[in-house]
Amino acid sequence: MNEKHAELADFSLSQARQYNSQHNYLRAFPHYLVFAQLEKQKFKEEEHVTEFLNITHALVTKLEQQGKRDKVEQVFQQAVEVLPSHPELLTNFGSFLFKQNQTERAEGLFRKALESDPHFLTAKDRLENLSSTLVERWHFPMLNDVFRNKCFESAICSRVREGCSTVLDIGTGTGLLSLMASKAGAERVYACEASEVMAVTAKDVLVHNVEGERVRLIPKLSLDMDQTDVPEKVTLLVTETFDSGLLGEHVLETVLHAWRNFLAPGCRVVPAWAEFFVVPVECGQVRS
């Protein structure tokens, strides 16, 4: 760095600190940005990082109180440019975006923070909170239905023992049924999931379970898949694309498409059948 740049960096730092002492964060912030860009190595020192984060936090708080949300995002973006991997800054930016219902961007920032520091608990908590708000609530009682899960596991294990070594799991959700198939001994499992939130959840579940190594996650609607996604005819189809009325999630169309494109002759299906009950109801008020 030449002498002129060094002088400008020192001047910017002194100005930033002067305005900071006056609680004029709107002026302090841009001066610190100039210092950060001119003295990249020196800026990384803990003293400067801490001071810069404090100024950023104070400025963001003031702008939020004034209702200037567009300015808040601009401040965060500029701050991240000079501290692109700081977990606290990334998490704070993600929290702001989450409050603006920008969940996908928020999730990306939380994950980036955890990539930088896997032990940063605030980012981990925020990511879990975000996931819990996005995942449909009916998933939770279903996943905790022990009887249901044991029935699926028993059926899948039986089919794999019979020789079904390749599996297609349509609508994998959290990846539970795919893990069951892999654990039962299936050589290859293809798991598709159309929901972006659930696909991300399934990816995490598969990564944290050794059985997930044999599962290929396909973040697509099964109707949009082709042979590049599932390059072989599978011998077992597992799906739970059912709603409370059985057929509301287009399971017939889904299974028919699978038979035409991905299933080998004699492929087994779990579940293989279902009972559908119809009850006639009469109500005078509705009729009138």
Options 51, 64, 153, 249, the catalytic residue? 249
Q: Of 146, 151, 240, 153, which is closest to residue 192 (Cα–Cα)?
A: 240
Answer yes or no: 45 catalytic: no
Exposure letters 269-285 (e unless 16+ CB within 10 A, then b): bbeeeeeeeeeeeeeee
| Strand residue runs (E) in 91-225 | 166-170, 188-192, 215-218
| Beta carbons within 8 Å of 58's beta carbon, 6+ residues apart | 23, 25
Options 39, 73, 193, 240, the catalytic residue? 240
Kindly state the helix (H) or strand (E) to which residue 270 belongs, with its residue range. strand 263-270
The rounded distance, in Å, linking the Cα atoms of 134 and 136 is 6
Q: Of 97, 102, 91, which is closest to residue 83 (Cα–Cα)?
A: 91
Q: Are 56 and 33 in contact (CB under 8 A)?
A: no
Using CA atoms, how far residue 239 sits from 10, 191, 272, in Å, is: 64, 10, 10
Q: Of 228, 210, 209, which is closest to residue 220 (Cα–Cα)?
A: 228
The rounded distance, in Å, linking the Cα atoms of 119 and 131 is 18
Answer yes or no: 240 catalytic: yes
Q: Are 126 and 157 in contact (CB under 8 A)?
A: no
| Phi and psi torsions of 208, nearest 5° | -90, 10
| Beta strand pairing call for 215-218 and 234-239 | unpaired
- Report, as residue numbers or ranges, the catalytic residues: 240, 249
